Amino acid sequence: QAQLVESGGGLVQAGGSLRISCAASGRTFSSYAMGWFRQAPGKEREFVAAISWSGRATLYADSVKGRFTISRDTAKNTVYLPMNSLKPGDTDVYYCAAHTMLVRTTAWTYWGKGTLVTVSS
């Protein structure tokens, strides 16, 4: 019954900010790496950011470095992705994921259903 549920998506103007969240339930993910991926229609799902189980290590796609910051609250079993300086190219469905290792691939164990982020120009 492990489940990841994203929230916080919506419409934002270019240059604006938005924070999306992922709440985990059914089990604790304290020993798992947590990550964010995104996918647009007609494109493959791509890695965005990830954080280790301890929160001491992070990975980012080059396209979001300096703009997005992944964080987690282990006690709340929740991961966050504050997004700044948003661009129209950031428009995607954003998916939360959990895995036993911190990797940039899409081969993660648990997945949420996604939350839509739309950035207008």
What is the structure's pLDDT at 70?
98
pLDDT at 100 over 90: yes
What is the structure's pLDDT at 91?
97
- Whole-number Å distance between alpha carbons of 61 and 79: 17
pLDDT at 61 over 90: yes
Range 8-37 average pLDDT: 95
Helix, strand, coil percent values for the chain (each to nearest 5): 5, 50, 45
CA atoms within 13 A of residue 95's CA, in its CB half-sphere: 19
Least Cα distance to 103 among 59, 54, 65 occurs for 59
